[in-house]
Copies of this chain bind each other. A is one copy, B any other.
Amino acid sequence: MVGVVESRIRRVGRPPQDASQRLARAHHILDVAGDLVLRWGYDKTTVEDIARRAGVAKGTIYLHWKTREELFAALLRRERVEMITEVRRRIGEGPATLRELLRLLASETLSRPLIRASVLGDSEVLGRLTRQKRDRTAGAELDAGFQGYFGTLLEHGALRSDLSPAEQVTTLVSILYGFLSVPSMMPAGYRPADERLAELIADAGGRALEPGGPIPPAAARAVARATLEYVDAAVEAAQRKLRVSLGSEESKP
């Protein structure tokens, strides 16, 4: 029997009873973890809390993740997958331009407290996780194929050529970060609604990065194709990272 052979071979993380049930349990645990983190913050959310509210024993959680930190990494990664997947879905509905991509990224970020906290380094929510590894991990999914995407935009005249790549990135990130940070510290009367804010971000970003003139239809099609490919690649990369995080394999070999 194959099962016997497998049980002989077993190295570290052997597949359990039912793979899909196991996955469902992992997701349930992450649901609970997300809930508690938003309520109490990262620092005050303990593994035992999560276990109790999820209806499993603490040890079970360690059957999924090697450490508490990896559990939360999985939580953030799952959130990122959901976000970028939703962006992918919505960008299929209209024109796939840089502006539209920006608008959807902003919109989906605004509606996801964990993502917002992660992007802004909100220590209220993320506690001591804030200034730790965030440096290169957070934006990693979006980095996949990013250079190539901007290169393609440039080729087809959909990106200003009078800014260096570093300046383009600085501009993009600064605008996103600024618009995500500022409204929450302004008096309530000044704060636009989230959807409107996403439009303002897309507008400001588009005006800052796109050249003035109109784009020929062929180029527009090429841009749309490149945009979809880029988002697809981002979804793919995010899913890959998540899959590792949910399998209880080691992340860094």
A interface with B by C-beta (< 8 Å): 163, 166-167, 169-171, 173-179, 181-183, 186, 189-192, 196-197, 200, 203-204, 207-208, 212
List 11 other contacts, CB 8 Å, given A167-B200, A177-B182: A166-B191, A169-B190, A170-B190, A170-B192, A170-B197, A170-B200, A171-B200, A173-B182, A177-B178, A178-B181, A203-B208
Residue of B with least CB distance to A164: B192
Each complex incorporates copies of this chain amounting to 2
Q: State in angstroms the CA–CA spacing of A136 and B48 once bound together.
A: 43
Contact between chains at A175 and B173 (CB < 8 Å): no
Q: What are 14 A-B pairs with beta-carbon distances under 8 A? A: A166-B189, A169-B190, A170-B179, A170-B190, A170-B191, A173-B182, A174-B178, A174-B179, A174-B181, A174-B200, A175-B175, A177-B182, A207-B208, A212-B212
Q: State in angstroms the CA–CA spacing of A237 and B173 once bound together.
A: 34
Contact between chains at A181 and B183 (CB < 8 Å): no
Please name all residues of chain B whose beta carbon is closer than 8 Å to the beta carbon of A183 when the two chains form the complex.
Answer: 170, 174
Q: State in angstroms the CA–CA spacing of A163 and B201 once bound together.
A: 13
Nearest CB of B to A183, in Å: 6
Nearest CB of B to A158, in Å: 16
Nearest CB of B to A126, in Å: 15
A175-B204 contact, Cβ under 8 Å, with A181-B181, A190-B169: yes
Nearest CB of B to A130, in Å: 12
Top 5 nearest A-B pairs by Cβ distance? A178-B178, A174-B178, A207-B207, A174-B182, A204-B208
Please name all residues of chain B whose beta carbon is closer than 8 Å to the beta carbon of A182 when the two chains form the complex.
Answer: 170, 173-174, 177-178
Task: Select one of B163, B171, B178, B192 contacting A167, CB under 8 A.
Answer: B192
Nearest CB of B to A207, in Å: 4
Q: State in angstroms the CA–CA spacing of A179 and B173 once bound together.
A: 8
Residue of B with least CB distance to A212: B212
